[in-house]
Structure 1
Amino acid sequence: MFGPRRAVFLDRDGVLVVPQFREGRSFAPTTLAEFAIYPDAPSCVARLKEAGFFTVVVSNQPDVGAGRTAREIVDEMSLRLRHAMPLDAIKICCHTSQCACRKPQPGMLLEAARELKLDLKESFMVGDRGSDIEAGAAAGCRTVFIDLGYTAEPPPERPNKIVGSFREAADWILSLPQEDS
C-alpha cells in the first residue's frame, strides 16, 4: 500500500447496531435478543474496505462496568459484528467514569492507530453522539455525525458532515477525493 493507511472509525450503537430509543436518546442493547445490526451496515463497511479503508469499531459500553450487561454478552455482540462485516478491530471501553479511552476522549482511536499504523489525518470518525464527534476531532480525524433526532442531548458542534444514516456517511466519505493507495 503506497498511500496513507486510512481508517473509518465507527461507533457501534446507532451506526452499526440498532439502539434502544427512549427518553429522547439511544441506549445500547443489553441482551442478545435486543441486538440487531442495521440491514445496510455490512454492505457499507464492505464498500469502505474495498476503497482501502481500515474499519474500526470504537464503542463505550458502560453497562458492563455498571453491572447491567455481562462482558460475555458484549463480546458475543462483537463476534456477531465480525461475522457480519469486514472489521479490522473492535475497541470497547467498559468504564463508567471518564478515562483515557472513554469517548469523548480519543484513547480508543489512538490505540487502534498505533496498532494498525493508521494516518489519523486521513481518517474519519462516524457516530451518532457528540462524544463520538469530540473523540474523532481530538484524534485529528474528520467527523461525520449521524443525526438520529435525539432530543435529550445537544448535537455536536461543527462535525465535518451531518447525515441521516450510515449509508449516507459512507457515500459521503467515498465521494471525497482520496490519495492514491
Structure 2
Amino acid sequence: MQKALFLDRDGVINVEKDYLYKIEDFEFIDGIVDLCKYYQDLDYLIIIVTNQSGIARGYYTEEDFTRLSEWMIKAFAKNQVLITHIYYCPHHPSISGECDCRKPQPGMLIQAQKDFNIDLKNSLLVGDKERDIEAAIKAGIETTYLFDEYNRVSASKATYIVDKLENIWKNNVNTQ
C-alpha cells in the first residue's frame, strides 16, 4: 500500500485569495515545494484535496479550475515535484445540496484511497481549516497538521499545529 501526503490547496499550497482561479493571482506559500520534495523522497504520493465552491457559486467554471490546476502541476514539476492527482469538490450545500466530497466529509480522501491503494492510517494531511482536519480524521488518517501561519488557532483536533510548513519536515515530526 502507498502512503500519501494530502494537501489542501488554498491556504496551504497557495496564498488564500477568495475564489482563486486566475494564474496571475496564484502565489505559492513559502516551503510548500520543499515539503512536497521531502515526502516525495520518502515515497509518499502527493495528492491535493480541495473544496472549490466557487464553481457552484458561478464565480468560475470547472474549465477555469482545470486550467489553473494544470498550470500548478507544471509549476510543481519544474521543481521536481510530481502531483499524483487533484481531487476537488465543486459543490456548496446551499446551492448543490449535501455531498460526500465536500470537506469535512471524507469523500475525496476515500476516493483517493480506492484509486491509488493508499494506506490512510499511515498517510498525513496538511490543511489550514478545521474542516480539513475533520475530513482526515473521518477517513482514518492519524497524523494531521493544521497550518496556522498567523497563530490564530488556539485549539484544534489536528495532531500538530504549525505556523511554517518547514516545521513539518525540519523538526522531523512523524517522518515514517
TM-score by length of 1: 0.83
CA distance in 2, matches of 1:166, 1:61: 22
Aligned to 1:118: 118
* Runs of 5+ unmatched residues, structure 2: 77-81
* Runs of 5+ unmatched residues, structure 1: 21-26
Aligned to 2:140: 140
Q: Name which of 55, 59, 74 aligns with 1:83.
A: 74
Whose RCO is larger (CA < 8 A, sep 6+)?
Answer: 1
Equivalence map 1:1-181=2 (5 Å) = 4-20=1-17, 27-85=18-76, 86-97=82-93, 98-141=98-141, 142-149=143-150, 157-171=156-170, 174-176=172-174, 178=176
SS in 1 for 2:49: strand
Residue 74 of structure 1: how far off its partner (Å)? 1.0
Which amino acid counterpart does residue 29 of structure 1 have in structure 2?
Answer: L
Residue 36 of structure 1: how far off its partner (Å)? 1.8
Contact 1:13 1:28 in 2 (8 A): no
CA distance in 2, matches of 1:129, 1:65: 20
Residue 177 of structure 1: how far off its partner (Å)? 5.2
**Cα RMSD, aligned residues only:** 2.0
Contact 1:133 1:143 in 2 (8 A): yes
Which amino acid counterpart does residue 174 of structure 2 have in structure 1?
Answer: L
Which amino acid counterpart does residue 103 of structure 1 have in structure 2?
Answer: K
Aligned to 2:79: none
Which amino acid counterpart does residue 67 of structure 2 have in structure 1?
Answer: E
Query: How many residues are matched?
Result: 166
SS in 1 for 2:157: coil
